[in-house]
Structure 1
């Protein structure tokens, strides 16, 4: 196993928004025997050790993977702070096609990699990884949450947090009836989107979905035949657009095409660029910042570190709605974007962090 620092011109001399992100640590790992190529980025540990999932994805280049892990880790700092958790932000990516390159040997090598950080970073699942994968990672490090020996897959918790956020945004926009009778376009029906669809239907919403993965759509239609399927929901005639796949779908051009009045979903880093938030505001589209809405999964897996009960976890996830309402109300009163208001909340909590961070919490074996 080889651990190296990335080339300086990819981190320290960037010309995009990430140039000022202030990541504390970025390390690369390569294990020749298993074929592992991975990057872990630790953004900020002022509130506590970094926690974030491991994304296994077929990136077009190492530079693309680095950009993704830098953005995602920064988002995890914001997510933990907005949720009021004593955690910092981190994220990992494994470069490769999980369908063809994922092996027990590679996952074990990755676990050894995580262990070298000695608790500065806790890993969990993300796109391309599962609780079963984390079971293998956990054979080589104790700094892993969300595996089958812990609280399990966090898909429902993420979906529940998004649902609570969506319901709050709908009530803020349309009154006490909220989602009842409203049309919601869910983009992506994986392990989060599928749960979200069920919660929306139970709340009386009409649901349209889009996902290029046909087996997933087929399974969803078998469980919920009333759901409509389209090639795209971003520009569909719906009241709510819920992006639950990969990020960066909110761009200057896509905002022009959106017909929904509310945007709220599980995808990370939904804005292509921070300036897109102002475009949404200009079009009078209510956007719930992704790092606020999708914190449910983080709250669940973090509960393993402090041994929270399932009842406590569900209550903490439900409290996301209170944060969403505060953001929407403050943004409306001050004429500001929801993104700026949420960023202020994060900055205030980071500024209030103790000057000397607490020691790494003990984890259950």
Structure 2
């Protein structure tokens, strides 16, 4: 494993490794950039094939958090943590306590939150060893879980994309294919169906498929989702689903979903543009969760989250407009806008 030679290393400020033999914890924390404020990002637990895959993931995810917070107008930097292992078999109280100590030993350079493979309950255990945790506020509509807010932001982003491409954000009869019906995807499906959309869902988890079906979605095989005949494709599973092969079979006119790092590389963003497919950059559209956890930590609640979520639609519309005018991909425009904020040290204030 070579951090500095990784294709995803981007002058990260901090990459820290931890192993705790007693609990079995093997984890990596990456802080990409903290020009705008402390690095905040989720703690993911996943059975990576090898350590290099884990390193690549935490580097990509932490960088994405920098861009996400900048464009969301939050005074935060970008960071991420990954725990290497299957959450179904390896997760334990001792492991989570060890993770809390790891985060605490970083002295506030990284603030953790929920992510794939971890829950609010897990974060409360981590919080027994560190105060550098967000997304565990008691009470409130969702009890500290930011997933519904991520889904709400994606929902608003889909409507913004429809309005830009078709002149109307009416979801009645719009066909949406949701790849991944887990914590965020499930809530997104419910929001879409409530507005009259026809939703198709795919997930490797049978329980997730059953819940999606109960909500009114039509379940389709996972290997059909990318090329499915639909108006909107919403990737809400793991990253890199938009690769050199999959972008060629997409039949949707809009790609807008919750997954992080949807593009295997920015070349896929260019290809989507050339194919006439409107892509909503993931680090813009899925910012609802980080907006919520920011307000939880800053104010002990998320009363301002809903108002701030509207920034997602306006940011996307600006990006779509600049992309159409310049001929640059939406992801290239979004990255330029974010870099203007965090690299130039522009002052950012939450709404």
Q: Give the structure-1-normalised TM-score.
A: 0.91
Partners of 2:24 and 2:162 in 1: how far apart? 47
Whether 1:229 aligns to 2:219 is yes
User: By how many angstroms is 1:318 displaced?
Assistant: 2.1
Query: Residues 64 and 177 (structure 1 numbering): CA distance in 2 closer, same or farther, change over 3 Å?
Result: closer
Q: Distance in 1 between matches of 2:4 and 2:51?
A: 16
Q: Does the Cα contact within 8 Å between 2:28 and 2:81 map onto a contact in 1? A: yes
Name the counterpart of 1:31.
20
2:183 match: secondary structure: coil
Q: Tell whether the 8 Å contact from 1:168 to 1:178 is kept in structure 2 after alignment.
A: no
Where 1:192 maps in the other structure, the secondary structure is helix
For 1:103-149, what per-residue CA distance to the aligned partner results, in whole angstroms no more than 9, with x for missing partners? 00000000000001111100001000000000100000000011254
1:97 is paired with a residue of what secondary structure? coil
Cα distance, 1:311 vs structure 2: 3.7
SS in 2 for 1:301: helix
> Which deviates further from its counterpart, 344-353 or 308-317?
308-317
User: Structure 1 residue 246: deviation in Å?
Assistant: 0.2
Residue 340 (str. 1) matches residue 332 (str. 2):
yes
Quote the residue 2:237 is aligned against.
Answer: 245
Residue 198 (structure 2) aligns with: 206
Q: Give yes or no for contact 2:212–2:219 (8 Å, CA) kept in 1.
A: no
Structure-2 residue corresponding to 1:168: 160
Further displaced range: 55-64 or 301-310: 301-310
SS where residue 113 of structure 1 aligns? helix
**Residue of structure 2 equivalent to 1:299:** 291
Counterparts of residues 9-48 of structure 1 (less than 5 Å):
10-14=2-6, 16=7, 18-19=8-9, 21-48=10-37
Instruction: Give the one of 203, 211, 233 matched to 1:219.
Output: 211
> How many residue pairs get matched?
343
Aligned to 1:132: 121
* 1:76 alignment partner in structure 2: 65
- The answer (yes or no) to whether the contact 2:147–2:184 under 8 Å persists in 1 is yes
Q: Given the alignment, which residue of 114, 119, 140 partners 2:108?
A: 119
**1:314 pairs with one of 299, 306, 309:** 306
Residue pairs, 1:75-154, within 5 angstroms? 75-149=64-138, 152-154=144-146
SS of the aligned residue for 1:11 comes to coil
Give the drift of 1:211: 0.6
Tell me, yes or no, if the aligned pair for 2:137 and 2:296 is still in contact at 8 Å: no
Give the Cα–Cα distance (whole angstroms) in 2 for the partners of residues 351 and 93 of structure 1: 25
State the distance in 2 between where 1:185 and 1:354 align.
Answer: 38
Would you say the 8 A contact 1:108–1:136 is kept in 2? yes
Distance 2:198 2:245 in 1: 26
How far apart, in 1, do the equivalents of 2:16 and 2:250 lie?
38
Structure 1 unpaired stretches of 5+: 1-6, 358-365
Question: Superposition RMSD on alpha carbons, in Å?
Answer: 1.6
Change (3 A) 1:319 1:309: farther
Deviations 1:180-237 (A, max 9, x none): 221000000001001100111122211000011111111222232xx21111311100
Supply the distance in 2 between the matched residues of 1:88 and 1:212 (Cα, whole angstroms): 33
**Is 1:156 the equivalent of 2:145?**
no
Matched with 1:192 is: 184
Tell me the alpha carbon deviations over residues 131-175 of structure 1, each in whole angstroms, 9 at most, x when there is no partner: 000010000000001125485111100000000101000111111
Long gaps (5+) in structure 2: none
